[in-house]
Structure 1
Amino acid sequence: MAKQIKLEPIDHEVSIKTNENLLSMLLQQELNVNWKCGGRGCCATCHVYIQTGTESLSPKNKRELKTLALISNCQENSRLACQARVLGEGIVVELPQGMYLSEIENLDTLIGRKVQQPILNPLNGSVLVEGGMVITRSLVNQLKEALVQIDHLLTRT
């Protein structure tokens, strides 16, 4: 049986099957959501906030709790979309603002440009570059180093 879920801040309502995880629904909507670990709950690239309806989702498992503990912008209503299965109605999902560092194909193209939205660390959701900042070569080098560290950590998990 299908359930209705509301997505914020885009004010969009979608259907999802009972026991399906939030990530599969977000991917079906062609939203810009990463899932670097393949949906195993090891990274934070599918991190979302649940505005209402937490009781209508599956409980957080040990892996999800461990990963959420690493997220700097984690809140009580934080969930990993790959681990949260829909059980009931009344769920409102808030998508985090910003884009993940791992989504940027060529960092060098950012040099001299102003970032429109924050650039986030895909492992912990921390803001690496604030929105409105101009990207310098030294900042790009720092971001490239962060990407190497992120890839190294993901291959170890």
Structure 2
Amino acid sequence: MAKTVKLDPINQEASVQTQANLLSGLLASELNVLRECGGRGMCATCHVYVKSGMDSLSPPNRREQRTLEVITTTKLNSRLACQALVMGEGVVIELPSGMYINSITDIESLIGRRAEQNILHPLDGKVLVESGKLITRSMISQLQDTQVQIGSYLAQSKEA
């Protein structure tokens, strides 16, 4: 049976099957949510704030807790949408303000422009470029370093 999840502040609702993760509802709502780690709870790109209904979600597992510890924008009501399973009604979530960049081609197309919103690091949620600031080539080297970090982290987790 499907549960309704409300997305604030856009006042949109998403239908999520019972025991399915929040990420599936966000993607079905055609929101631009990344899943850099493939939904394994190892990156920050599906980080959300649960405004209400935390008790209607599955409890955080150890991997999610470890990932949330490194996200700089984490609050007490933070969850990873890929790990939070919807168990009941009344869930209201808010996406952190900003945009995650997950490839060099994304940045290449933005160089020389002003960021329309904060651009966030895919592993820790740090702001790479503040809203209104100029996007420069130095972001490419930061992102290349990030892709190496993600690749080695995912390789280590497969071995474990």
Q: Fold-level match, TM-score > 0.5? A: yes
| Residue aligned with 1:117, SS | coil
Counterpart-to-counterpart distance in 1, 2:87 and 2:106 = 40
Could you say if the C-alpha distance between residues 72 and 107 of structure 1 is closer, same or farther in structure 2, counting changes exceeding 3 Å?
same
The Cα of 1:112 is off from its aligned counterpart by 2.1
Moved more, 84-93 or 106-115: 106-115
Question: Deviation at 1:141?
Answer: 4.2
Following TM superposition, by how much is the alpha carbon of 1:146 offset from its aligned partner in structure 2, in angstroms? 4.2
The 3 A distance-change label for structure 1 pair 137 and 52 is: same
RMSD: 1.9
Which whole-Å CA distance do the structure 2 matches of 1:121 and 1:96 have between them?
12
**Alpha-carbon shift at residue 138 of structure 1 (Å):** 3.8
Contact 1:21 1:84 in 2 (8 A): yes
For residues 76-113 of structure 1, the C-alpha deviation after alignment (integer angstroms, 9 at most, x for no partner) is 10000111011111110101111112156342332321
Q: Secondary structure at the match of 1:134?
A: coil
Instruction: State the distance in 2 between where 1:39 and 1:103 align.
Output: 17
- In the alignment, the residues of structure 1 paired with residue 5 and residue 61 of structure 2 have an alpha-carbon distance, to the nearest angstrom, of 22
How far apart, CA to CA, are the structure 1 residues paired with 2:22 and 2:106?
A: 29
CA contact (8 A) 1:43 1:154 kept: no
Residue matched to 2:108? 108
1:139–1:3 distance in 2 versus 1, CA, 3 Å: closer
Contact 2:104 2:140 in 1 (8 A): no
3-state SS, counterpart of residue 109 of structure 2:
helix
- Normalising by the residue count of structure 1, what TM-score does the alignment of the two structures yield? 0.89
Asked whether the 8 Å contact 2:107–2:139 carries over to 1, the reply is: no
Would you say the 8 A contact 1:115–1:132 is kept in 2? yes
Q: Is the contact between residue 111 and residue 140 of structure 1 (CA under 8 Å) also seen in structure 2?
A: no
Distance 1:128 1:156, change over 3 A: farther
- CA distance, structure 1, for counterparts of residue 108 and residue 140 of structure 2: 7
User: In 2, Cα distance between the equivalents of 1:154 and 1:117?
Assistant: 29
- Structure 1: gaps (5+ residues): none
Aligned equivalent of 1:61: 61
Instruction: Work out the percentage of aligned pairs sharing the same amino acid.
Output: 56
Distance 2:144 2:8 in 1: 31
Per-residue CA distance 1:4-62 (angstroms, 9 max, x = gap) = 11001211012222111101111111211111111111111111110000011000111
List aligned pairs for 1:1-157, cutoff 5 A: 1-102=1-102, 105-157=105-157
For residue 24 of structure 1, give the secondary structure of its aligned residue in structure 2.
helix
Letter in 1 for 2:45: T
